[in-house]
């Protein structure tokens, strides 16, 4: 794996620190900051690693591109799913690029944190993170001196506030332009409720399964209705038991209902929009809703499998943080953030690709994939 990236570090010293950094991220080190990574590398002071992360000459975006090629080369398949999600990085103070008091799904509350938006690739034999963007709130974009102090490039500041769906679009477009084979897009309600994000996918003929909030409005023949209103009208025989894939406690089984939404001539030929509902077996009032866009030939089992694949990004976050130090950094500036995050993603990708070579990994995924309204419930 390291041979794939070694050529982007022009000096032998930088190549040595890059390998030491990655080895440390994969080692059983409690906190993967520069001090402990230096100790794992057998050096007394962290100066070399800190220089490598903060000031040496190499391009984090080139590393991202090589990481993406490495993951796709090992895990890509025609039905691969690109999954978008964000995660929070709790921080103290006000100096870290993009930090402010904002809601963090990781913490489940408003915290002083940075937010990173990530793109994961979920294939039949494994999943890994392949792209990342740091979210910059208005409080940062509007304060040029603060941005300069944090090393945020002028060309990024000139773009203004980019919402999380806009950052997601940038990463998806980058992956597709690089030739990544992906059949689907999956994301939670923060992205699914954004009409511009859905339009972006539809314009590029990207099939999607996007969670939406309970109040999401969708077309009905006599107007527009909330998704929960439509689903409440589904007959009981419209619900079918199916697994969304393997979880920590075995098959993630739910009841699923699926219906085609009315079209008013704004769809590409051969495509449909559908509404998918997932109901808990333990609590029938616990229902999640998804808007879907895909070829008309797609089956219920395929749509359910994509809805289940969205959890892949959460699994990537947990593994990358627990095993590869994704959130252990102590840097404050823009470029070092991207460098550490991308190196941690590469370390996690190494684990994912290595696991994918195990025949048991292939078998496990195959088992997990066995798969009065105007809308027509199927």
What is the spatial distance between Cα 359 and Cα 148, in angstroms, rounded to a whole number?
50
Q: Is the pLDDT of residue 266 over 90?
A: no
Let me know whether 179 and 67 are in one domain.
Answer: yes
**Is residue 170 assigned to a domain?**
yes
Note the pLDDT tens digit of each residue in 104-159. Answer: 888 889 999 999 999 999 999 999 999 999 999 999 999 999 999 999 999 999 99
Let me know whether 165 and 251 are in one domain.
Answer: no
Let me know whether 281 and 334 are in one domain.
Answer: no
Let me know whether 296 and 226 are in one domain.
Answer: yes
Let me know whether 255 and 169 are in one domain.
Answer: no
**Residue 339, phi-psi category: left (phi > 0), alpha (psi -120 to 50), beta (remainder):** alpha
Let me know whether 79 and 132 are in one domain.
Answer: yes
Note the pLDDT tens digit of each residue in 70-100. Answer: 999 999 999 999 999 999 999 999 999 999 9
**Is residue 1 assigned to a domain?**
no
pLDDT of residue 74: 95
Where is the domain boundary, 309, 324, 345?
309
Note the pLDDT tens digit of each residue in 342-354. Answer: 999 999 999 999 9
Q: Taking the mean position of all CA atoms in its chain, how far away is CA 294?
A: 20
**Is residue 51 assigned to a domain?**
no
Let me know whether 300 and 337 are in one domain.
Answer: no
**Is residue 262 assigned to a domain?**
yes
Q: Is the pLDDT of residue 222 over 80?
A: no
**Is residue 323 assigned to a domain?**
yes
Let me know whether 174 and 219 are in one domain.
Answer: no
Instruction: List the domain range (segments joined by +) for residue 239.
Output: 205-309
Let me know whether 65 and 107 are in one domain.
Answer: yes
pLDDT of residue 80: 96
**Is residue 340 assigned to a domain?**
yes
Let me know whether 319 and 182 are in one domain.
Answer: yes
Let me know whether 163 and 212 are in one domain.
Answer: no
pLDDT of residue 377: 63
225-228-233-235 Cα dihedral, nearest 10 degrees: 140
- Band (pLDDT 50/70/90 cuts) for residue 29 is confident
More confidently predicted of 95 and 264:
95
Let me know whether 220 and 274 are in one domain.
Answer: yes
Note the pLDDT tens digit of each residue in 309-335. Answer: 999 999 999 999 999 999 999 999 999
């Amino acid at each position: 794996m390291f041979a794939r990236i070694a050529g982007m570090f022009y000096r032998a010293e930088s190549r040595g620190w890059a390998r030491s950094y990655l080895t440390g991220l994969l080692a059983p080190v409690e906190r993967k900051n520069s001090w402990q990574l230096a100790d794992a590398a057998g050096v007394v002071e962290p100066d070399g690693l800190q220089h490598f992360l903060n000031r040496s000459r190499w391009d984090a975006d080139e590393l991202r591109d090589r990481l993406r090629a490495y993951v796709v080369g090992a895990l890509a398949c025609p039905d691969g799913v690109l999954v978008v999600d964000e995660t929070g990085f709790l921080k103290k103070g006000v100096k870290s690029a993009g930090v402010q008091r904002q809601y963090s799904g990781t913490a489940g509350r408003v915290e002083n944190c940075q937010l990173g938006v990530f793109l994961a690739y979920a294939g039949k034999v494994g999943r890994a993170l392949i792209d990342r963007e740091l979210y910059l709130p208005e409080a940062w974009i509007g304060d040029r001196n603060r941005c300069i102090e944090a090393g945020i490039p002028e060309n990024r500041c000139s773009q203004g506030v980019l919402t999380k769906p806009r950052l997601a679009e940038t990463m998806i477009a980058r992956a597709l332009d690089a030739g990544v084979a992906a059949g689907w897009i999956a994301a939670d309600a923060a992205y699914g409720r954004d009409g511009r994000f859905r339009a972006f996918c539809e314009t590029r003929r990207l099939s999607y399964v996007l969670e939406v909030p309970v109040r999401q409005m969708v077309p009905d023949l006599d107007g527009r209705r909330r998704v929960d209103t439509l689903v409440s009208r589904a007959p009981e025989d419209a619900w079918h038991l199916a697994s969304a894939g393997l979880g920590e406690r075995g098959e993630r089984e739910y009841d699923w209902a699926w219906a085609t939404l009315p079209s008013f001539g704004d769809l590409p030929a051969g495509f449909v929009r559908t509404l998918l509902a997932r109901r808990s077996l333990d609590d029938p009032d616990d229902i999640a809703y998804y808007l879907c866009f895909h070829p008309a030939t797609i089956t219920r089992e395929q749509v359910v499998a994509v809805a289940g694949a969205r959890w892949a990004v959460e699994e990537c976050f947990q593994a990358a943080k627990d095993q590869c130090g994704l959130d252990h950094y102590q840097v404050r500036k823009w470029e070092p953030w991207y460098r550490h995050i991308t190196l941690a993603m590469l370390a996690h990708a190494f684990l994912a690709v290595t696991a994918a070579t195990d025949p048991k990994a292939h078998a496990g995924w195959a088992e997990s994939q066995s798969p009065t309204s105007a809308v027509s419930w199927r």
